Amino acid sequence: MNRRKGSISTWTLRHAVIVWIGILLNLLLAVPLLFSPAWLLDALGIPLMQEIWVRFSGGLLIIISAYYVPAAMNLERYRANAWLAVIPSRSFGATFFFLAVFVFDQPFAFVLGVLLDGIIGALTLLCLIKVTALERATQQGATI
């Protein structure tokens, strides 16, 4: 039984680390979008049409990242937040940028959004599935 508890805490820790890495990566993208959008978009080869919308998206990305923090700090208490961080948040981001690049012919640099949201989303989803399965197995073992 202790071994299973350790496994739950291990997967919970992995989830927290991955979420914090995702938050950091979001901020590495969002802060330049907010404060120096022309520089970042030029570096990525993305044409700048209206700077205000780029700054707005950077601000929104910072706000979204703030909503990831509670589940990273206490997965048991903020489990719903953790699931919402994957579905719809990360999955929408990855899908949006995938379609933008491969269907709507947007600059290839937007694949960065597919990779960031796709990888972080998939890894946190794996952790959530593993924690849920281990908890279920622990509960079933306790009732037998």
Residues 92-134: pLDDT tens digits?
A: 999 999 999 999 999 999 999 999 999 999 999 999 999 999 9
Contact 61, 37 (CB under 8 A): no
Residues 6+ apart with CB under 8 A from 76: 12
Query: Which of the residue ranges 3-7, 44-48, 109-113 would you say has the lowest mean pLDDT?
Result: 3-7
The model carries a pTM of 0.86
Higher-confidence residue of 1 and 94: namely 94
3-class secondary structure, 14: helix
Residues 6+ apart with CB under 8 A from 36: none
Q: Is 74 exposed, middle or buried (0-12, 13-18, 19+ CB in 10 A)?
A: middle
Residues 24-33: pLDDT tens digits?
A: 999 999 999 9
Measured over the CA atoms of residue 27, residue 20, residue 18 and residue 65, the dihedral's sign is: negative
The pLDDT value recorded for residue 140 is 85
The pLDDT value recorded for residue 1 is 43
The H or E element containing residue 110 is none
